[in-house]
Amino acid sequence: MSATAEATILITHAVGLHARPSVKFTKLAKTFAADVEIALAANGPWFDAKSIVKVMAAKAPKGTVLHIRASGDGAKDAVEALVDLVRRDFDEGADHARTA
């Protein structure tokens, strides 16, 4: 039986899961073998977290509680790593807001 993992995390980035964070998010998701999906609500719809087209299409604004789930090899690590990326505000923080 393959591993599964699931978590939720609040998006605090100024404009939500937008272009630049989505690039980082999907790049990180693709480093895991597990299938990873995101949703804006517990009951879906679920989007492939490795596809930037799908992640952008989710249009998650700031303040969204993002649901992340994974199944397969390294599912737990994948969810943890992605939650951590969102929690770190995609490593942008206030610095970026000032230079953008």
Partner 1 sequence: MPAPLRLQGICASAGYAEGPLFDLDRPSAVYASQASAAEEKVALAAAIGKAVSRLTAMVDAADGDAADILEFHIAMLEDAALSAPAFASIGSGLPADLAWRQALDAEIAGYEASDQDYFRARAADLRDIRDQVLRALTDDGGSAVAAGAILYGDDIAPTRFLETDWSAGGGIALKAGSAASHVAMLARARGVPMVVGLGEPAKTAEGFVLLDAEHGTIALAPSPTEIEAFRLSSSSFAARQGKAQAFLAKPAATRAGTAVRVQVNIAYPSDVDGIDVSTCDGVGLMRTEFLFGKTLPDEETQYHAYRKVLEWAGEKPVTIRTVDAGGDKPVPGFTVAETNPFLGLRGIRLSLARLDIFRIQIRALLRAAIHGNLKVMFPMIATPDEYERAAALFAEEQAALAARGVAHKMPPLGIMVEVPSVAIAPEAFDGVAFFSIGSNDLTQYVMAAARDNAAVAHLNSVRHPAVLRLIGSVAAFGQENGVPVSLCGDAGGDPASIPALIEAGLRDLSVAPAQLAMAKAAIAEVPV
Residues in contact with partner 1 by the rule CB under 8 A: 14-16, 18-20, 22-23, 26-27, 48, 51-54, 56-57, 59, 61-63, 94, 97-100
- For partner 1, the closer CB: 2 or 45: 45
What token pair was written down for 53? 């087209």
What token pair was written down for 22? 């989505």
Cα angle for residues 30, 21, 95 (degrees, 5° grid): 135
- Nearest distance in Å: CB 87, partner 1: 17
User: Count H helices, E strands: the chain?
Assistant: 4, 4
- For partner 1, the closer CB: 5 or 38: 38
Distance CA 35, CA 16 (A): 23
Q: Is 18 a catalytic residue?
A: yes
The one catalytic residue among 13, 18, 67, 96:
18
